[in-house]
Chains A and B, each alone.
Chain A
Amino acid sequence: DQQVKQNSPSLSVQEGRISILNCDYTNSMFDYFLWYKKYPAEGPTFLISISSIKDKNEDGRFTVFLNKSAKHLSLHIVPSQPGDSAVYFCAASVGGSARQLTFGSGTQLTVLP
């Protein structure tokens, strides 16, 4: 059973608008969450993370929100750029570690010029 779920396999957004990627998890032991971006033929690259003691973390155009009671996190990209087009993976771990990550199945984001 998938402990980390990304229910939208794809998302299309107009350049300059906001992209919102969602992720749900079922394991209440998860306390560290990360987002990775993956271009074709490349490995995932780390984007942003959040610890369960926070509900928001920002890094430039990227903001991650965590709703622990709903076991839901989201990644906001504002403004979206064509270069953001990639597959985005949500990942989670236990013990505040970026190790032994459990990944979602990914969301393909397409930013239209």
Chain B
Amino acid sequence: DGGITQSPKYLFRKEGQNVTLSCEQNLNHDAMYWYRQDPGQGLRLIYYSQIVNDFQKGDIAEGYSVSREKKESFPLTVTSAQKNPTAFYLCASSIERRAEAFFGQGTRLTVV
């Protein structure tokens, strides 16, 4: 099946720890994106990548880092510098920049 796979679905993190969220796509899409959703809110853009080995900050990049070493993978690391990391994280991809975007099922991160 073609699609976008995020793992894990649920993640618990202790304060001060870094955690990495996985996003893999087999749609052969060039562009990939990470968004954050807080309760009752829309999504906000964290980082995006148009091509391998290149990525750009979105609106709320502070406390996050990404890499794009392979076309199909765009992992997001939530660092200890992110002051309020508890949120729902969604990964998306599109065939090219600004084309129709498709989303994964999301990862719910909770700081305990």
Are A and B genuine complex partners? no
